[in-house]
Chains A and B, each alone.
Chain A
Amino acid sequence: MNKLVLAVPSKGRLEELTREAFAKVGMKIMRPQGVRSYAGNLQGFDDVIVRFLPAGEIARELIHGTIDIGITGEDLIHESLENGAAAVIFAQKLGFGNADVVVGVPDAWIDVKHMRDLSDVASDFRAKHGRWLRVATKYIHLTRKFFADNGIAEYRIVQSVGATEAAPATGAADLIVDITSTGATLKANGLRILDDGVMLKSEANLIISRTANWNDEKNQILQKILLKIGAEIKEI
């Protein structure tokens, strides 16, 4: 099978903006069976299959190579697997879906402005409270790496699936790591982003799977698409 599989976010703003971005460069993404369908095609590209998938699913499948290329957020690649980024190529930033993965602490922590403050707090915490400092997040891999890079070892992650920003108020955690585009949700929950607490600036990317089954024909189709999008990748 020598068709190229392109995965597109299946719903919401991400889907709309992806379609717009592709339409702008003359590639129309078609969803002939309607919004409930997961299959589509790319007008004028007979050898491309379009699959509509949730953004998180696209990240996972790119890493595992079950789809060839796809549009999803950079943060989701990092979060799906510890070394997920090694399995893909970020071919082109698409200028939408911008959001930052950030460290947010209660605004009332007036003594904590930087990661170095947090490292002091983490260090003292156990002796004062008899437990580790707790960080609520779904970005486990990113958090571990960022905290380790900042020399913070004395904390525990509390896995959070939704409404992470509520964790300090419910007592589930002391601070959070979460994704935010405007910071408004954090602010509404009495949280503040540390001055050097931006772990990742993410946006929607056209991403190529390194682990997919590549051959000359598929590579040629890919090059055609990349040319239209304005990205240049020679080696996969």
Chain B
Amino acid sequence: MLEQAKRRADLGALIVEKGALLINPPMLLAANPFFDLAGEELGRRLLLTTGNNDVEYCLRPEFTLPIAKEFLLAKEKNQHGAAFGYLGPIFRQRAEGPVEFTQLGLEILGKADADAALEKVFDFAIKAIEIYDFKPKIRLGSVAIFEALLANVDIPDVWRPRIRHRFGQPEAMARLLERLADPHGTKAGAIPWKKDELILAISDQMLAASLSLTGSRSPEEIANRYFEKQELAASNVPEKTLKTLKQYLAVKGDALAMLNLVEKSAFDYGLDISAPIKRLITHVKLLQQKHNIKDIEFDASFSPRLDYYTGIVFQMIITGNVAASGGEYDRLLQRLGSDKPLNASGCSIWIDRLEEEKAK
């Protein structure tokens, strides 16, 4: 018990050492912002309660969102960025019932030097794990490389965001790529409509069903996608593109070897994606040399499912379990109301897991 308390005190000191402000957002939070940010996926894991004002609240399921909101509220004061640290309980629904976890974390928001911020996050997570005498294995992913690849391959534009949204969901991604290779169910052929006629017909049908023409999908949007489907049936996505994407997503193994391989293949294919690859290589080398981490893996298909992640993402693993996860999420602050994307990186560390493993 005493040792546990001492280690937790060390964790608190680590936050201060990183020049971060220790922050403790409320335990009871409005649920809607979490649903808005992460959808039903996180929603099903919230511990919800309804106030007598009919507003839905939840017990704090994570720290990043309330901290980012706090940051944006004091935008003027924070115009040169800020770093926050936290250590406290979060609550999630699990299959077997609600569980309380202790999470430690760091959030570096709005700092101009993204590389320095990410390096600080890596350093923080490794040091926190070292307090428990473990040396983690690191699993790296890169949203930036995948987005660059997707922007470079030959494919109708409508498919780029849809493929992007499946990144981090290997099964859904595989199904989508399969579908693009063989758009069964849609028959190519002459479309019996001119687009403006079709839009009119859809409008009539919507009005007849008392649907608003502007409140949800518009007649034009429906007609556009209808045509797009027919076009897709007429001309498939180039086989080469699908092969490139599949090949890339299957890359997994020693980070330096794999990243060099990806860079070389991309060059051979004439795809310009070397900037994000080079950036990740720099960080891998830092992890090896400065932190003396041997076991570093690059997994091309690895990403958190949330679409506000942008650059490098990671997990730190001890004895087969994820002890820390984090990365860069430059779209988060924009999603929460900032008028432009702002650099953001951070991590959260599962203290209960470290304590359990330490006790073994």
Residues of A participating in the B interface, judged by any CB pair closer than 8 Å: 82-83, 106-111, 113-114, 116-117, 119-121, 123-125, 127-129, 132, 144, 147-148, 150-151, 153-157, 168-169, 171, 174, 189-191
Contacts and interface: CB of A to CB of B under 8 A. Distances in A.
Contact of A151 (B95, B166, B212, B219): B166
A123 B161 contact: yes
Interface in B40-75: 40-41, 43-44
A151 B211 contact: no
A168 B222 contact: no
Contacts of A116: 175-176, 179
Interface string B131-162: 00000000000000000000000000010011
B93 to A, nearest CB: 8
A124 to B, nearest CB: 7
Given A111-B225, A124-B162, A151 B169 contact: yes
B209 A107 contact: yes
A148 B211 contact: no
Interface string B165-178: 11001011001100
Given A110-B226, A156-B40, A171 B185 contact: no
Nearest to A148: B41
Nearest to A114: B185
The 9 closest A-B pairs by CB, nearest first: A190-B209, A151-B172, A111-B226, A108-B205, A111-B225, A169-B210, A123-B165, A108-B206, A174-B216
A123 B307 CA distance: 11
A158 to B, nearest CB: 11
B217 A154 contact: no
Given A121-B225, A151-B172, A190-B209, 13 more contacts: A82-B95, A106-B216, A108-B205, A108-B209, A110-B202, A110-B222, A117-B229, A119-B162, A123-B161, A144-B40, A151-B171, A174-B216, A190-B206
Contacts of B222: 108-111
Contacts, number: 102
A87 to B, nearest CB: 13
B32 to A, nearest CB: 10
Contact of A168 (B35, B211, B228, B305): B211
A106 B229 CA distance: 18
B217 A144 contact: no
Interface residues of B, number: 40
Contacts of A106: 206, 209, 211, 216-217
A153 B171 CA distance: 13
Nearest to B162: A123
B239 interface: no
A157 B226 contact: no
B122 to A, nearest CB: 28
Given A111-B229, A154-B165, A156-B35, A147 B205 contact: no
Contacts of A191: 209
A169 B213 CA distance: 10
A107 B205 contact: yes
Nearest to B208: A190
Interface in B293-342: 305
A230 to B, nearest CB: 34
Interface of B: 35-36, 39-41, 43-44, 95, 158, 161-162, 165-166, 169, 171-172, 175-176, 179, 185, 202, 205-206, 208-212, 215-217, 219, 221-223, 225-226, 228-229, 305
Contacts of A111: 222-223, 225-226, 228-229
B162 A120 contact: yes
Contacts of A114: 185
Contacts of A109: 217, 222
Given A114-B185, A168-B216, A190-B211, A157 B40 contact: yes
Given A123-B161, A174-B216, A190-B209, A128 B39 contact: no
Contact of A127 (B161, B205, B217): B161
A119 B172 contact: yes
A190 B205 CA distance: 8
A144 to B, nearest CB: 5
Contacts of A127: 161
A81 B172 CA distance: 26
B40 A153 contact: yes
Nearest to A147: B40
A197 to B, nearest CB: 14
Contacts of A169: 209-211
B211 A108 contact: yes
Nearest to B35: A156
A151 B166 CA distance: 8
Contact of A108 (B179, B219, B305): B219
B38 to A, nearest CB: 9
A123 B165 CA distance: 7
A233 to B, nearest CB: 25
Contacts of A168: 209, 211, 216
A81 to B, nearest CB: 11
Nearest to B215: A171
Contacts of A110: 202, 222, 226
30 contacts: A82-B95, A108-B211, A110-B202, A110-B222, A111-B222, A111-B225, A116-B176, A119-B176, A120-B225, A123-B165, A124-B158, A127-B161, A132-B39, A144-B40, A144-B44, A150-B172, A151-B169, A153-B39, A153-B40, A153-B41, A153-B165, A156-B39, A157-B40, A169-B209, A171-B212, A171-B216, A189-B209, A190-B208, A190-B210, A190-B211
